[in-house]
Amino acid sequence: MYEVEVKVRADHDDVRARLADLGADPVNRVMQSDIYYDAPHRDFAETDEALRVREETDADSGETVTRLTYKGPLVEAESKTRREVETAVGDADTAADILDALGFEAAATVEKERQRFALNGYTVTLDSVAGLGEFVEVETEAEGGSEAETAGESVANAREGAFAVLRDLDLDPGDQIRTSYLGLLLAEESDGTE
């Protein structure tokens, strides 16, 4: 399974108005705390991989779910598409203890508020990221491809659909940011120390 995602900086008020005009369906609003880990056996920054534990709290119900996620390297130059493997875990502290026992070290935390909408088969997410500002992500999942469609074609079709959704929102796919929030935060911290 591939996560096909395009992300741009954008003012949320303008995008919310456009989503309403297009009849997008509100999905949920959540708070997320992502703890990213460094591996003892390879440098994830060099391999373009990520391992994280995410705690997500629903803003309405207060229910919290925790997930462990591996993200592989980017698979194409045109979008932020990666292989993603994810599973629910019962407790974030226990997951952190397991990773620590295996030699993984917590490297950074990304905090954000997300508001999700469904539009034309895509998830449109308005992200407010602590220390970075406002972003819009358009994403979907692409299968590895069927007999009639290769994995590359599946990803390309999903990407082009995401670009169309961005254009429908009066946003420019050419403004896409392929760097993760973690990468953007680390770059901000690096710029601040020089």
The full set of domains in the chain, from first to last, is 2-185 (2.40.320.10)
- The pLDDT assigned to 108 comes to 93
82: pLDDT confidence band, cut at 50, 70 and 90? confident
Give the mean model confidence (pLDDT) for residues 156-179.
94
Residue 166 confidence class, pLDDT cut points 50, 70, 90: very high
The residue among 90, 80, 100, 111 whose CA lies nearest residue 37 is: 100
pLDDT band, very low/low/confident/very high, at 194 (cuts 50, 70, 90): very low
Closest CA to 181 of 99, 80, 43, 77: 80
Q: Which residues participate in catalysis according to the annotation?
A: 36
What average pLDDT does this structure show over 139-159? Answer: 75
Per-residue pLDDT, 151: 66
Average of per-residue pLDDT across 64-68: 97
Q: What pLDDT is stored for residue 69 in this prediction?
A: 97
- Residue % of the chain over a pLDDT of 70: 94
Question: Mean pLDDT over all residues of the chain?
Answer: 92
Of residues 177, 51, 191, the one with CA closest to residue 108? 51
Question: Distances in Å between the alpha carbon of 24 and those of 3, 117, 152, 161?
Answer: 21, 6, 28, 15
Q: Within its chain, how far is the Cα of 128 from the centroid?
A: 12
> Is the pLDDT score of 145 beyond 70?
no
Residue 54 has pLDDT above 60, yes or no: yes
Does 72 score more than 80 pLDDT?
Answer: yes
The mean pLDDT of 155-184, rounded to a whole number, is 94
